[in-house]
Amino acid sequence: MRGVSRILGFSFLLVAMAQAAWGWGQIGHRASGYVAEAFLTPQSKQALQQLLGKQRLADISTWADTLRGDETLKHISPYHYESVREGTAYLDHLRRLSHDEIARGGVLQAILVAERQMEDPKVPMKQKEIALRFLVHFIGDLHQPLHSGRPEDKGGNAIRVKWFGFDGSLHSIWDTGMILSGHDDIFGRRENNVDQSLVYARKLLETHRGLMQPRATRDNPEAWLMESVQSRVPAYNTDYKNNPMAYQERNLPTIDGRVYAAGLRIADVLNRIFANVAPPDSQTLLVKNIEALIGKIESIITLGPRKPAGPSQEYWH
């Protein structure tokens, strides 16, 4: 039975790796959503129920990945990543970008705009819900190390890899492949009516709950980005070519930790917003420094449709 289970699990791996394109794939994003729920305050839970009804954070966590193919939303594609070169701080990264590259935006700025929209009492409730959907997803994306990957290989998407016999990219291994193959005890069974992302989240809560993140990083997207840039370094070790098991054993703890940390940070941000607490000084300074370089962030990031020709639509209607 164990052999049959493993065959079924790896068949699922093939399908999931083929589907994984942005973010953690459904499993990682949903797991982060479930982890976040474990740290929400009662006030946040009530506010989320008003915005989402019966939907949970896990349910909305992959919504941003469903927008592909819509011409009015293609500007959102660059909001899923931040391609930072080795040894480069975020503000230095911005200084090196061309005007066209700056105009595309990135995931860190998208997070800041989503937070602002959720905080602004003048923003309609429908747009607050949209901002929440983007915020949950983009925090997850920023914690995936190869969403802060090297620009020259498109965050590992340009590096082709054969992972336990299946063709994919280095990016897809870090999105989904290692989660599935490394947690065969969860994903090898494919039980009916079992949300395996929830099972994975429960496992992360058991193994990581005591490993709280430093307070200085709890609502600090720049720190999350730099963590991902540092975490991506071992991803480029070419053991994945000839010793995938060793590569997995070395890197799976990093992936698990990042999925967990994303959930914790989602909860921290939402708890602050729904308590009507102002952003920390570190974030205020970050926004000031960004806008000194590129202008108003909202003039770059649009969390709503843009017509192919004509003005942008500020809010979702």
Query: What is the predicted pLDDT for the residue at 214?
Result: 67
The number of beta carbons lying within 10 Å of the beta carbon of residue 310 is: 7
Give the angle 191-56-134 at the CA atoms, nearest 5°. Answer: 115
Neighbours of 154 (CB within 10 A): 16
Structural domain includes residue 305: no
User: 138 is written with which tokens?
Assistant: 């983009």
Which CATH number goes with the domain that contains 79? Answer: 1.10.575.10
Give per-10-residue mean pLDDT for the chain (317 aa).
41 48 74 97 98 97 91 94 90 95 97 98 96 98 93 91 89 92 82 83 93 74 95 91 93 96 96 96 96 97 81 50
Q: Would you state the pLDDT for residue 149?
A: 86
Q: How many domains does the chain have?
A: 1
According to the model, what pLDDT value does residue 9 have? Answer: 45
Q: What share of the chain is helix, strand, coil (3-state, %, to 5)?
A: 65, 5, 30
Under 8 Å between Cβ of 277 and 103: no
Q: What is the pLDDT of residue 5?
A: 42
Q: Is 97 a domain residue?
A: yes
Q: Does 27 fall in a domain?
A: yes
Residue range(s) defining the domain that contains residue 74: 22-158+194-299
Q: How far apart are CA 182 and CA 252, in angstroms?
A: 7
171 occurs within a structural domain? no
> So what's the pLDDT on residue 20?
44
Q: What is the pTM of this model?
A: 0.90
pLDDT at 315: 52
CA dihedral sign, ordered 259, 56, 180, 158 = negative
Q: What is the pLDDT of residue 205?
A: 96
pLDDT of residue 219: 82
The SS3 of residue 92 is helix
For residue 2, being part of any structural domain is answered with: no
Q: Residue 66 has which token pair? A: 């469903």
The confidence score (pLDDT) of residue 126 equals 96
- The answer as to whether 148 is a domain residue is yes
Q: Report yes or no on 7 lying in a domain.
A: no
Q: Does 123 reside within a domain?
A: yes
pLDDT given for residue 217 in this prediction: 76
